Amino acid sequence: MIENSSLIVVGAIYNFAFAIFHLGFWKLFKWENDLKQLFFANRAIIQIFNVLGIFYFICMGIICLSFGQDLLNTKLGHAVLLMNSVFWLIRFILQFVYLRRNHWILHLLTFVFFCGFILFLIPII
């Protein structure tokens, strides 16, 4: 079985991968054109939340790499891992609420979000 400290490193990579994925949203989803159709505030909100998501993923990745032992051995560390686990659980649930389509990519992402939930939960149980 994988050691908890290795799971923390995998968690860092997982978060960095999502930061990179979100950096590609402008091009991947053709936001330059598609977002022009939205009301000014909605267009801004979508992009602001994406940038904040990128920041969050980078911060969590850095925390995992820099404070792995603290995450595993302190109450605060467990709280951070639990918070991150719940983040991915909520993201998993929202997949069913907002992306109710039968497409293999959406199914793959749903599985990946569930993996994030488990990945950050295992070291604290």
Is the per-residue pLDDT at 17 higher than 90?
Answer: yes
Is the per-residue pLDDT at 1 higher than 80?
Answer: no
> Do residues 50 and 29 lie in contact, with contact meaning Cβ atoms separated by under 8 Å?
no
Report long-range pairs for 4-7 (Cβ below 8 Å, ≥24 apart).
4/72, 4/122, 4/123, 5/68, 5/69, 5/72, 7/119, 7/122, 7/123
What per-residue confidence (pLDDT) applies to 57?
98
Q: Looking at residues 77-104, what average pLDDT do you find?
A: 97
Q: Looking at residues 16-41, what average pLDDT do you find?
A: 97
What per-residue confidence (pLDDT) applies to 2?
80
Residue whose tokens read 């659980």: 89
Q: Looking at residues 86-108, what average pLDDT do you find?
A: 96
